[in-house]
């Protein structure tokens, strides 16, 4: 892969979303900014790996260190500490703000990144495998995979879980301040109406191209993966001319400050982040979480082993450790997302974990959630995002 291709992965159009504050999301929107799937394919003709794989894990002595490259604030500290105490391996955690940022670093390193485990979102995994960025797991060393719900294994991007295991999944909705917006909001159409009225000038949206456009598409019954030029034009017109004048912030992490500080009254947000914000608010009862309706997004992040991982034994030991029921429960309580473990909802209920309606969703709700896709319209999606931000003065 040449330097020009690497620069494309870090193109200035995605600079605003490459921020440490982002916890989990941004995967669909940021791929739009750079077309990473096509770039990855071009980087490695014939799917040849970019680096030499490290010696595979065999169940031998666990190394004294483990390097994890993940989203920020995405693991319970007590679980990490317990692993170090149990195994002797000190965990070094580095964070990225988008899948593209993570991929760019792995590509540039050519198998020498020093990272053991990485956490890509599912839609990126096939291209990462094809281009030799991920190494196969030794599932014999991860027997605790048996504790996973089969529904979260064997996903389309890795049918045999040879390269990845579900870490967490979530969705998108919004939060509003009931002391300001006194009527009940239920849908994306309600979100739009409130943004243009009671919440005008105090509305934030995710700093992410795809779910920003999703507000328009979901409210109007249009597939958010549309490539129809007419749909894209209509989305741009709405966002730039009708919604942007009322937007005061593009914030992918309102749970970190905006909700606790009540600096906005209407905020598009991912469920786990919204939950954190409400729990940390001095007046949690003033906030109402709403799952986006009639449709919204679904994403899933995954544990994966980087090619060239210097500590493969520690990496496998960690994966086996993190998948135990007690550690999965601690993860759910801390990050506020479903980890895909079997019986995790029941365990969380029994343990008295708070606000589980923002963590787990019933079958009817899940049917309204749709995964994003990498399409030919990605550049256009990013153009709309940029124009919306400019119109809002961001």
Closest CA to 36 of 97, 129, 100, 110: 100
All structural domains of the chain with their residue ranges:
3-169+299-362, 171-297+370-392
Residue ranges of the chain with per-residue pLDDT less than 50: 1-53
Q: Specify the pairing of strand 164-177 against strand 247-250.
A: unpaired
Q: What is the pLDDT of residue 71?
A: 85
Q: What is the pLDDT of residue 31?
A: 37
Phi and psi, residue 72, nearest 5°: -70, 150
Q: Fold match between 3-169+299-362 and 171-297+370-392?
A: yes
Q: What is the pLDDT of residue 56?
A: 83
Q: What is the pLDDT of residue 252?
A: 84
Q: Out of 3.60.150.10, 3.30.160.270, 3.40.190.10, 3.40.50.1860, select the CATH number for domain 171-297+370-392.
A: 3.40.190.10
Closest CA to 122 of 301, 260, 259, 276: 301
Q: What is the pLDDT of residue 37?
A: 38
312-322 and 325-335 helices, crossing angle to 10°:
80
Q: What is the pLDDT of residue 55?
A: 65
Q: Specify the pairing of strand 296-306 against strand 117-118.
A: antiparallel
DSSP string for 130-166:
HTT-EEPP-GGG-GGGGGB-GGGSS-TTSTT-SSEEE
Place of tokens 């956490």: 119
Q: What is the pLDDT of residue 378?
A: 79
Q: What is the pLDDT of residue 256?
A: 87
Q: Which fold has domain 3-169+299-362?
A: D-Maltodextrin-Binding Protein; domain 2 (3.40.190)
Q: What is the pLDDT of residue 54?
A: 54
């Amino acid at each position: 892969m040449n330097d020009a291709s690497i620069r494309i992965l870090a193109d200035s159009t995605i600079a605003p979303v490459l921020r440490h504050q982002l916890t989990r999301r941004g995967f669909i929107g940021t791929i739009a900014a750079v077309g990473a799937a096509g770039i990855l394919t071009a980087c490695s003709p014939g799917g040849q790996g970019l680096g030499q794989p490290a010696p595979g894990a065999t169940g031998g002595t666990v190394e004294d260190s483990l390097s994890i490259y993940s989203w920020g604030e995405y693991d319970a500290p007590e679980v990490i500490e317990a692993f170090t105490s149990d195994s002797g391996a000190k965990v070094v955690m580095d964070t990225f703000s988008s899948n593209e940022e993570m991929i760019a670093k792995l590509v540039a390193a050519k198998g020498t990144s020093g990272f053991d485990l990485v956490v890509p979102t599912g839609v990126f995994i096939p291209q990462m495998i094809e281009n030799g960025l991920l190494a196969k797991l030794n599932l014999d060393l991860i027997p605790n995979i048996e504790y996973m719900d089969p529904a979260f294994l064997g996903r389309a991007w890795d049918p045999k879980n040879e390269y990845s295991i579900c870490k967490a999944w979530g969705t998108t909705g919004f939060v509003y301040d009931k002391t300001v917006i006194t009527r009940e909001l239920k849908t994306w159409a309600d979100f739009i109406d409130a943004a243009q009225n009671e919440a005008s000038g105090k509305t934030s949206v995710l700093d992410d191209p795809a779910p920003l456009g999703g507000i328009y598409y979901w409210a109007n019954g249009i597939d958010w993966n549309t490539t129809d030029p007419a749909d894209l034009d209509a989305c741009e017109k709405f966002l730039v001319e009708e919604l942007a004048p009322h937007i005061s912030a593009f914030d992918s992490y309102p749970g970190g400050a905006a909700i606790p500080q009540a600096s906005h009254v209407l905020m598009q947000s991912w469920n786990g982040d919204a939950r954190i914000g409400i729990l940390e608010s001095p007046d949690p009862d003033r906030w109402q979480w709403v799952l986006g309706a009639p449709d919204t997004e679904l994403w899933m992040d995954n544990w994966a082993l980087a090619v060239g991982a210097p500590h493969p034994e520690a990496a496998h030991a960690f994966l086996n450790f993190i998948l135990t029921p007690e550690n999965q429960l601690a993860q759910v309580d801390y990050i506020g997302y479903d980890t895909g473990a079997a019986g995790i909802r029941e365990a969380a209920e029994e343990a008295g974990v708070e606000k589980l309606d923002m963590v787990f969703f019933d079958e009817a709700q899940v049917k309204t959630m749709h995964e994003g896709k990498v399409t030919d319209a990605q550049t256009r999606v990013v153009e709309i995002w940029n124009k919306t931000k400019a119109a809002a003065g961001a």
